[in-house]
Amino acid sequence: MSIEIYVEAAMVKKQRGRLVGGVAYIALDADGCIDDEDWKPVDYVTDQAYLDLSALAFGLKHARDGDIIYSSSDYCVKGFNEWLEGWKKRDWRKANKESISNAELWRLVDESSAEKRVEVRKVAACSAGKDAAYRYALLATKRLL
């Protein structure tokens, strides 16, 4: 039985403009009931793409074989489904030979998904799982404020 995992990230500015964030996932079973949930703060955020990718890596660590991960980030969905294999073949470089952004996190995503068959899909704009995961991610940011 596959589980649907929704991953989200939230970012806020601390005093003096430093960005902090939170990532979260919520796992729903076939009946739509919460199977698992977790969140964590992320200090020293560089940008939203970094935070979204951190959320994907966080969700993948908790995923099991056959699970489906939903993300609102095109960067994560396309990166996982379209770009990852090419980057690995080119030693973590783009087609133009430049280094990829967030290479350490992409390596973590690759390692976390290597032993399991997981799908990563784009989440619908209005989804209860997405909204719940975002609330948890926002809650995680409050630990750093």
Going by C-alpha positions, the residue among 70, 11, 5, 73 that lies closest to residue 42 is 11
Domain of residue 107, residue span: 4-142
Going by C-alpha positions, the residue among 119, 96, 95, 8 that lies closest to residue 53 is 8
| 9-29 average pLDDT score | 93
| 43-71 average pLDDT score | 95
- pLDDT of 124 reads 87
Structural domains of the chain, count: 1
Token representation of residue 97: 């030979």
- pLDDT of 17 reads 84
Residues facing residue 6 across a β-bridge: 26, 70
φ, ψ at 75 (rounded to 5°): -55, -45
pLDDT band at 18 (very low <50, low <70, confident <90, very high): confident
Q: What is the CATH number of the domain that holds 44?
A: 3.30.420.10
Q: Is pTM, for the whole model, over 0.85?
A: yes
pLDDT band at 63 (very low <50, low <70, confident <90, very high): very high
pLDDT digits (tens, 9 = 90+) for 125-143: 888 999 999 999 999 999 8
